Structures are given as C-alpha cells and as structure tokens.
Amino acid sequence: MLEVHGLAKRYGEVLALHSLSVRVEQGQCLVLLGRNGAGKTTALRCIAGVIVPTSGTVRVDGIDSASDPAAVRAKVGLMPEVPGLYERMSARTYLDYFGSIYDLESALRHRRIEELLEKFELVDAADRWLGSYSKGMRQKIALIRATLHRPRLVLADEPTSALDPDSARRAWEYLKELQDDGCALVICTHSMEEAETLSGQIGIMSAGRALAVGDLAELRGRSGLKSRRELRELPTLQDIYLAIVGNHHELAEPRSA
C-alpha cells in the first residue's frame, strides 16, 4: 500500500530527513518512534504530499505521488499533530465541508459523520463552533476528518496526545477497525507503551534517520540486548530504543586518538 524509497528533505543547510525507505502492506501498521526532531513529522508530511521531498519516491497503492499527487491524496488520510481546524465552523458543518471535498455523496457523508460523531461522543457538541472545543475534542475531530472518506492509508502524528485514557482507547480501537478493513497505518508517537501494543512494524528514528525498522523481535535482535535473566524478562521497547539510539550515537561520534 505504501512504498517509500530514498526519501529525503532538506531545509537549507539542514537535512531533516535522510534517505528513508520503508514498505507498508495493506492492513499493516508502521509506528515511527523517536524524540522531537527525529524526522517523524517531516516523513509523514512528505508521504502525504503536504511538502515536496528533496529527493526520493513515494508510491501509494501503486501510484507515484510525483506523477499523480491528486490520486494519492484521495487515498490518504492525514491527521497532523496540530489539527488546524476552522474555528468559526461548527463540527458538523466542518466535517460536511471536508466530506464534499472528498466527493462523498451527500447521504453517505451525512451518515458517516453522524456515526463518527457518536463513536467519539461529540453529538451533543456537534453544532458548537470548533473554537470552543477543548484540545482533546479538536483531536477527535481531526481524526474523523482524516478518515471520513475511508482512505487506504492513514498517517497519524501523535493521534492521542491530547486525549484522556478512555478517549485514547476509543481512538486506538477505531484505528484498529480501519486496519482490520485493510487500511494501512503509519503512526508517529513518543509513547513506548502505545508503540509496543500496536501490532506491526516499528521504525526507530533519530536525527532524521531510520536507525532500524522491524517487529519487536527483530528490533530486539538488532539492539544487542540479552534477556534480563535475573528478572526472567525480555528487554522492553524502551530498553531496545535506548540501546539502538545509543549505539548509533557511539558509532557516529569521532573517537580520540
């Protein structure tokens, strides 16, 4: 569903993303894990076509984003970390507006809007201006907007950062439903717990580079960590992340003679 090869983005002298290559199959989830400035958001925005990469290629469902960006955007749903809502619109009007942009037939989009407003417990607030919404409510609307047209690929940047635990659970359940229906997911997060519980691939990023991509078992092997026998436990994802990032920094630092 998604093929990224050699994707890079430069801002002047700063290379924000270094030659990223990943592949996400239909119904698969890729979690990009890393601290601020790791390149996660830049990667998502390049894949979504919001910014033009300096080099590299992106193909979504076999379509090259450079040759047919409109067709790619129709298959992609992007949920940015900052929702960027139209604050003087009501939630219902706002979602109807974006549903029409997605060319959803009127009855279908109205039905879909009401289903999702109910799922995220926003029906009673649906006719209020979005400017009056809390951060968590805004994030729910952003998720609904990104998935209203049933995209084949969902790109979500910190999708639950402003949500309370119950709302976050609902959001993950909804994303899992989309995945079960064959949608591919690429999710950026700082949360080790979220990354560990989501099934699929994990990409560990640092300073614009993907240091390792694989499932938990593969990353455990890449980390060089052994089982903590005294605790009879395998290394956690946090252990693995710190080991891989730490090993990379050790190799990158010049050694004194």
In the chain, where the domains are located: 2-252
Rg of the chain (C-alpha set): 19
How confident is the model over 180-208, as pLDDT tens digits?
999 999 999 877 877 777 768 999 999 99
- Residue 25: which H helix or E strand, with range? none
Of 150, 143, 159, give the one whose Cα is nearest residue 75. Answer: 150
Least confident range of 38-42, 120-124, 218-222, 228-232: 228-232
| Residue 65: other Cβ atoms inside 10 A | 22
How confident is the model over 115-171, as pLDDT tens digits?
999 999 999 999 999 999 999 999 999 999 999 999 999 999 999 988 999 999 999
Concatenating the DSSP letter of every residue in 102-148 gives TT--HHHHHHHHHHHHHHTT-GGGTTSBGGG--HHHHHHHHHHHHHT
| Percentage of residues of the chain with pLDDT beyond 90 | 70
| CATH top-level class of 2-252 | alpha beta
Instruction: Choose the most confident range, by mean pLDDT, from 64-78, 113-127, 237-251.
Output: 113-127
Residue 247, C-beta contacts closer than 8 angstroms, at least 6 positions apart? 223, 224
